[in-house]
Chain A
Amino acid sequence: MKRLGIAEALREAIMEEMERDAHVFCIGEDIAVPGGWGGAFTVTLGLEKKFPDRMIDVPIAELGFFGVAVGAALMGMRPIVDVQYGDFLFLASDQIINNAAKLRYMSGGTAKVPLVMRAPIGATGRGAQHAQSMERFFTGVPGLKVVAPSNAYDAKGMLKAAVRDDNPVLIFEHKLLYGSRGARAEPGATDATSDIPEHDYTVPLDKAAVRREGSHVTILAWLLMLHHALAAAHTLATEGIQAEVLDVRSLAPLDYETIGASVRKTGRVVIVEEGPKTGGVSAELAAGIMERFSESLVAPVTRVASPDIPVPFSPILENTYRPDVPRILAAARQLTLPCAGLERSPLR
């Protein structure tokens, strides 16, 4: 057992998978420059020494190198493609959406694209084009699996599961959760370290996780917002409100089994999303919950999300923009007020 941050856990996962299977390789910008960064956030640091032929630096050409990765995957390789900032996925989206996600279906199930894509996201002092929350743009793409680990244990296990999966998997990682060190360390980072076992393990790509049990309200969150939700739940407990916190983790497909079990128990749902509210993953979750579990809801599903504006730069504006603990608390308190269906389902 050892204590690792997400960047280290991902690095260990990549190294182990490359040792296990010679078809696994990494491709991306600045990932394998000796004396360089190991990608934008140190995840692949030093791996070029161990795998000189399987760590491929590329030109700044996201559409091109995502296409290269898809083509290599089609021919039996298992690429892990790294994009420096999730925002650049827009450049690569033709290859991700039109090729990686669809080739299996349009070939009648005969072509397979075992591709792993890693993308850092989150508002972190970089303004409008290096800090967006990109999940919403990819969760509605048939043929694509999308996950978002919030701690090092999951990051390692999900990356390993993704490498072994025969479908394209897009992994969103949060810049404030990496625990990157040295010059690439992020100011204001949140501790997402985990105890990592010595043995090989994977984490399923289609299961949410209950991070805290409670019976009054369900809070759904992922990545950085999961950490804020846990902090909020801690405060709510001191007020007598027991919040159940779910790490949604698998954004496509959504695990309605685990989510449903919690909604049936609490009857109240707060969904927290870092990205803008309109058209977000939280909108899909809210609709999905209401379609499936409306008979269990005692209050309307509530969303906490960023406003519908680009990510601002000035720290005071960014901190106002991004959902935080007080906003989650306010939403949970509102939902658990007597007027919010308590007559029908009193706090237990």
Chain B
Amino acid sequence: MEIQMKMPDLATTGSDVRLVRWLVSPGQIVKRGQPLVEIETEKAVSSVESIATGLLKEVRVLPGGMVSAGQAIAVFEVATTLPAAADRISESAASSLGAVPMVLPHYKRAFLLSLYERMVLIREFEERVRFLFLEGTMAGTIHQCQGQEATAVGVCSALRANDWITSTFRGHGHALAKGLSPQELLDELFGATTGCCKGRGGSMHVGNMDQGMVPGIAIVAGGIPLAAGMALAFKMQNSSQVVACFFGDGAVAEGAFHEGINMAALWKLPVIFVCENNLYGASTHISKVMKNTRISDRAAVYGFRGQTVDGNDVVAVFEATRHAAADCRAGNGPVLLELLTYRRIGHSRRDPCHYQPAAEREAWLSRDPLLRFATCLEQQAAISAAELAEIKARVDHRIDEAVQNAKKAPLPAVEALYEGVFG
């Protein structure tokens, strides 16, 4: 998609500035922050930095020309800078995002395959769980994450084994991405003692303290101050660990979000705040609950870095998280990542999801994170469809086994009702 760069207001007197020369030619790739153009104000000659990473498509002012603040000076074609969520509601907007190809950096083949396998595992796990509920095999409710596999896998793959995550409901994908086994998750959903929370947590509270995942905090935004506190502990313990805190767009209106990110910013805590912006809080569209739908903008007002990322592009999410984690470890945290994605299933088990416009759904389904990654792997990494099919078969087999085991998993003894309240 195209974005325009406007002349920032650099002249203290409000007068126009003179464009001296372009430092980059049309057709060249520029990075955000790279000096783009030299200008002369009444005080000095200085340069203006690019606001975007992408292809410089067109310059609108020639050397020697006078420019006013706010005047368009250049046009970029960008893949990584996305419009605010509200701009993506229409079918055409989503389709144009879909046309932006994923770009594969030079990763090792094994790593690419591991990303893909983890995403397939989440998709197949969630689909199987959906049918287990339809069968009536499972109790309780579920909040599923089909279509959001790239956010969980992209973020968790960029973390170290001893880093932590906090999650919220819709956390099955986070758990699988962090390394919890499908068996311990399924057992938990079946309420078994062999579940990751011994059957005391259930779908909304999956986690494993030995795998670096706090049980899911199912109160919207409740995990945000908590993650800041975990990061405070890391800082006080002189540890290099970071915590990635997952939450949804709905959490941004909660006081806990603002209180938590303010303290994290104030104390430069190593937290990556990961907002999975899937456009819906329960049944309510984001445009009904916030005026500024670009969630990453919240970071700047609290004095830290925010970034909006294509959340259906696992590579983009991985790269953004890798940089965020490096910033956090260097003492330059926190970072707010807004990952743009879409909730393609109902909010919870009994929600038929009738409120999503058909055109919006179609547009977003065409941007399926798994299909996009598969296409990218075939076209750019010479990975064959047969290899990808093998992965899916392996995952299917693993889940088949886990389901069979979970159906036989031991339920808690009723005498154990009181265990684990205090320790």
A interface list, Cβ under 8 A from B: 25, 53-54, 56, 58-59, 61, 63-77, 79, 94-95, 98-99, 103-112, 142-143, 145, 166-167
Q: Is A167 a contact partner of B262 (Cβ separation < 8 A)?
A: no
Q: Is A67 a contact partner of B224 (Cβ separation < 8 A)?
A: yes
Q: Given A110-B209, A142-B421, does the pair A98, B219 have CB atoms closer than 8 Å? A: yes
New A-B contacts (10) at CB < 8 Å, excluding given A66-B225, A106-B205, A112-B423: A54-B236, A65-B225, A65-B259, A69-B229, A72-B229, A72-B232, A75-B230, A98-B217, A108-B420, A110-B210
Pair count A-B, CB < 8 A: 147
Q: How far is the CA of A344 from the CA of B274 in the complex (A)?
A: 70
Among B41-49, B81-89, B191-199, B328-336, the stretch in contact with A: B191-199
Q: Is B233 a contact partner of A67 (Cβ separation < 8 A)?
A: no
Contacts of A68 in B (CB 8 A): 225-226, 228-229, 232, 260, 263
Q: Given A63-B256, A67-B260, A106-B215, does the pair A98, B200 have CB atoms closer than 8 Å? A: no
Query: When A and B form their complex, which 10 residue pairs have the shortest distance between CB atoms, in order from nearest?
Result: A71-B229, A67-B225, A64-B259, A108-B198, A109-B420, A75-B233, A68-B229, A61-B259, A71-B226, A108-B197
Q: How far is the CA of A56 from the CA of B210 in the complex (A)?
A: 29
Q: Is A104 a contact partner of B225 (Cβ separation < 8 A)?
A: no
Q: Is B263 a contact partner of A75 (Cβ separation < 8 A)?
A: no
Q: Is A94 a contact partner of B256 (Cβ separation < 8 A)?
A: yes
Smallest beta-carbon distance A148→chain B, Å? 19
Q: How far is the CA of A281 from the CA of B193 in the complex (A)?
A: 35
Contacts of A107 in B (CB 8 A): 197, 200-201, 205, 207, 209, 214-215, 420
Q: Is B421 a contact partner of A105 (Cβ separation < 8 A)?
A: yes
Name the one of A66, A73, A75 contacting B234, with C-beta atoms under 8 angstroms: A75
Contacts of B195 in A (CB 8 A): 108
Name the one of A71, A79, A104 contacting B420, with C-beta atoms under 8 angstroms: A104
Check: B422 CB closer than 8 A to any chain A CB.
yes
Q: Is A109 a contact partner of B225 (Cβ separation < 8 A)?
A: no
Residue in A72, A98, A143 whose Cβ sees the most chain B Cβ within 10 Å: A72
Q: Is A67 a contact partner of B228 (Cβ separation < 8 A)?
A: yes
A selection of 30 A-B contacts at a CB cut-off of 8 Å is A25-B236, A53-B236, A63-B225, A64-B228, A65-B263, A67-B228, A67-B256, A69-B229, A70-B225, A70-B226, A71-B227, A71-B230, A71-B231, A71-B233, A73-B229, A74-B226, A74-B229, A76-B233, A95-B225, A103-B215, A105-B421, A106-B205, A107-B201, A107-B209, A109-B420, A109-B423, A110-B210, A111-B215, A143-B421, A167-B423
Mark out the residues of chain B between 121 and 144 whose CB falls within 8 Å of any chain A CB in the assembled complex. none
Smallest beta-carbon distance A302→chain B, Å? 32
Q: How far is the CA of A53 from the CA of B195 in the complex (A)?
A: 40
Q: Mark B238-268, 1 if CB is under 8 A from A, else 0.
A: 0000000000000000011011101100100
Q: How far is the CA of A71 from the CA of B222 in the complex (A)?
A: 11
Contacts of A25 in B (CB 8 A): 236
Check: B12 CB closer than 8 A to any chain A CB.
no
Check: B13 CB closer than 8 A to any chain A CB.
no
Q: How far is the CA of A70 from the CA of B226 in the complex (A)?
A: 6
Name the one of A58, A59, A98 contacting B222, with C-beta atoms under 8 angstroms: A98
Q: Is B199 a contact partner of A67 (Cβ separation < 8 A)?
A: no
Contacts of A111 in B (CB 8 A): 207, 209, 214-215
The closest CB in chain B to the CB of A53 belongs to B236
Q: Is B234 a contact partner of A105 (Cβ separation < 8 A)?
A: no
Q: Given A108-B197, A108-B199, does the pair A72, B420 have CB atoms closer than 8 Å? A: no
Check: B415 CB closer than 8 A to any chain A CB.
no
Smallest beta-carbon distance A98→chain B, Å? 5
Q: Is A67 a contact partner of B226 (Cβ separation < 8 A)?
A: yes
Q: How far is the CA of A68 from the CA of B265 in the complex (A)?
A: 13
Mark out the residues of chain B between 373 and 423 whose CB falls within 8 Å of any chain A CB in the assembled complex. 419-423
Smallest beta-carbon distance B55→chain A, Å? 42
Contacts of A95 in B (CB 8 A): 222, 225-226
Q: How far is the CA of A72 from the CA of B423 in the complex (A)?
A: 18
Q: How far is the CA of A38 from the CA of B200 in the complex (A)?
A: 41
Q: Is B200 a contact partner of A64 (Cβ separation < 8 A)?
A: no
Contacts of B28 in A (CB 8 A): none
Name the one of A54, A73, A76, A166 contacting B423, with C-beta atoms under 8 angstroms: A166
Q: Is A105 a contact partner of B200 (Cβ separation < 8 A)?
A: yes
Smallest beta-carbon distance B212→chain A, Å? 11
Q: Is B233 a contact partner of A63 (Cβ separation < 8 A)?
A: no
Residue in B226, B262, B423 whose Cβ sees the most chain A Cβ within 10 Å: B226
Q: Is A59 a contact partner of B259 (Cβ separation < 8 A)?
A: yes
Smallest beta-carbon distance B20→chain A, Å? 45
The closest CB in chain A to the CB of B195 belongs to A108
The closest CB in chain A to the CB of B197 belongs to A108
Smallest beta-carbon distance A346→chain B, Å? 42
The closest CB in chain B to the CB of A79 belongs to B229
Residue in B227, B256, B262 whose Cβ sees the most chain A Cβ within 10 Å: B256
Q: Is B233 a contact partner of A59 (Cβ separation < 8 A)?
A: no
Smallest beta-carbon distance B235→chain A, Å? 10
Q: Given A59-B266, A74-B214, A107-B209, does the pair A64, B225 have CB atoms closer than 8 Å? A: yes
Contacts of B199 in A (CB 8 A): 108
Contacts of A110 in B (CB 8 A): 197, 208-210
Q: How far is the CA of A61 from the CA of B215 in the complex (A)?
A: 24
Smallest beta-carbon distance B127→chain A, Å? 26
Contacts of A98 in B (CB 8 A): 217, 219, 222
Q: Is B262 a contact partner of A59 (Cβ separation < 8 A)?
A: yes
Q: How far is the CA of A73 from the CA of B208 in the complex (A)?
A: 16
Residue in B200, B224, B228, B259 whose Cβ sees the most chain A Cβ within 10 Å: B259
Smallest beta-carbon distance B405→chain A, Å? 18
Smallest beta-carbon distance A330→chain B, Å? 39
Q: How far is the CA of A73 from the CA of B164 in the complex (A)?
A: 14
The closest CB in chain A to the CB of B419 belongs to A109
Q: How far is the CA of A250 from the CA of B422 in the complex (A)?
A: 16
Smallest beta-carbon distance A16→chain B, Å? 19
Q: Given A63-B259, A68-B232, does the pair A99, B217 have CB atoms closer than 8 Å? A: yes
The closest CB in chain A to the CB of B217 belongs to A99
Smallest beta-carbon distance B21→chain A, Å? 47
Q: Mark B154-171, 1 if CB is under 8 A from A, else 0.
A: 000000000010000000
Smallest beta-carbon distance A100→chain B, Å? 10
